[in-house]
Amino acid sequence: MALLPNSAAVATVALFILSTSYPEAIAFAPASPSRTFDRRASSVLSPFMSAGDDGGDVPPPADAGSASSGPPGLAAETLAEATDALNAVGWGGGDIVTAAELTSDDPFVRGIDESIRAEMGVGLDGLLNPAKVVNLERDLYNLRSELAVRTGMGATDVVGLSTAECDGGGGGEEAEKLRMNISKKETSLGIERRSVFRGWLKNIFLGQAALSLVVSAVMVTNPGVLFGGFDWFETYSFDQPIRVLGFWWWWLFIVPSLRSRRPSGAEKRALDIAFLGTPLISLALPAVTKDCAIIWVANLAVVAGSYAFAFTTEDEDGGNGDDNQPKWLKFIYSSLDFGSGKERGVRK
């Protein structure tokens, strides 16, 4: 035991207390496709269990009857102490479903998608804030699971159950706090589930990109047309700064507006490439030429080339050979999706 890191040692002791004094607590996390608490328990205790099989000095676990025959408050107190120890080292079991464990193939996420399709006629990726919906559903799952335990219903798989079906009544002040928290999240979830990403909103983003294209072209060629009527334009010599801002408009507004439409397939890949390529062009070309119009055209060429590359390399099944991409490139592409829902397993 002394050879283990401090956190692992504390976790092992806590798990040992649970297995001997309150064995039913080991199963408090319902079975799910994600990594559960009992898997963590077996992975930590397996070396010591093996040692016991070889003749090591490992005390035998107490049966459920002996644990329940003790004083009424002993089991709950033991469970609380062990849970606190696990939480202290980051192995607490309260957060049954975590964001890092969710993928688009997870049954938990698929269930959310199916329920939204039945209710709203669109999938999870058709909502305005899909990542927030997954987060709220995950939080409600965990809170309802905790409420079921605190109100005497024990380990309950709360998937598909309402809060009332997970509430055994009573539970004291802590249970009441859980009910209030659940109520707030249910209200927020109801609003988010009805917030569909409508076609007219996508058209607004498309129009914004087209308008930005025209404005930026004027900015790099003749900014006086737009700003010549303002005194500050001539007084502070804003001609060149506005021209520079004009070619940066590609990365600041045009490409982001197109990405805001949440395209998929080849177009999504094209815009990801353009979002990475346009700032590189805008940073590198000023060392070669001071003509802002040429740099603007170069950005246009990068975006057009990105579309051409993405659509010509698209597989017959609609893929782009992502499996053959290096890990660092996959990481960059996935980082561009942060906040769009994909990091929560919303979309492929």
The string of pLDDT tens digits covering residues 92-117 is: 444 455 555 566 678 888 889 999 99
Q: How confident is the model at residue 327 (pLDDT cuts 50, 70, 90)?
A: confident
C-alpha dihedral (99, 159, 86, 68), degrees to nearest 10: 180
The two counts, helices (H) then strands (E), for the chain are: 15, 0
Given a contact cutoff of 8 angstroms between Cβ atoms, the answer to whether 86 and 14 are in contact is yes
For residue 311, what are its two tokens? 């659509």
Kindly report the backbone phi and psi dihedral angles of residue 268, in degrees, each rounded to the nearest multiple of 5, phi listed first. -60, -45
Q: What is the pLDDT of residue 49?
A: 43
Residue 290 above 90 pLDDT?
yes
Does the pTM exceed 0.75?
no
- In three-state secondary structure terms, 196 is strand
Residue 119: how many CB atoms within 10 A of its CB?
A: 10
Q: Characterize 151-171 residue by residue with b for buried, 16 or more Cβ atoms within 10 angstroms of its Cβ, and e for exposed.
A: bebeebebeeeebeebbbeeb
Between the two ends of the chain, the Cα-to-Cα distance in Å is: 44
CA distance to 67, 229, 340, per residue, from 336 (Å)? 52, 39, 9
Given a contact cutoff of 8 angstroms between Cβ atoms, the answer to whether 143 and 183 are in contact is no
Q: What is the pLDDT of residue 320?
A: 56
What is the mean pLDDT of the segment spanning 242-246? 97
Given a contact cutoff of 8 angstroms between Cβ atoms, the answer to whether 312 and 292 are in contact is no
Given a contact cutoff of 8 angstroms between Cβ atoms, the answer to whether 44 and 19 are in contact is no
Q: Characterize 294-316 residue by residue with b for buried, 16 or more Cβ atoms within 10 angstroms of its Cβ, and e for exposed.
A: ebbebbbebbeebbebbeeebee
Residue 335 above 70 pLDDT?
no
Q: What is the pLDDT of residue 73?
A: 41
Q: What is the pLDDT of residue 41?
A: 41
Q: Which residue has the higher pLDDT, 22 or 212?
A: 212
Q: How far apart are CA 131 and CA 23, in angstroms?
A: 36
C-alpha dihedral (67, 73, 79, 82), degrees to nearest 10: -110
- Kindly report, residue by residue over 136-190, the tens digit of the pLDDT: 999 999 999 999 998 988 877 888 889 999 898 888 999 999 999 999 999 999 9
Instruction: For residue 62, give the DSSP letter.
Output: P
Q: What is the pLDDT of residue 99?
A: 52
Q: Which residue has the higher pLDDT, 13 or 300?
A: 300
Q: Which residue carries 């805001």 as its tokens?
A: 260
- Kindly report, residue by residue over 19-53, the tens digit of the pLDDT: 544 444 444 434 444 443 444 444 434 443 444 44
Q: How far apart are CA 167 and CA 188, in angstroms?
A: 20
Kindly report the backbone phi and psi dihedral angles of residue 165, in degrees, each rounded to the nearest multiple of 5, phi listed first. -75, -15
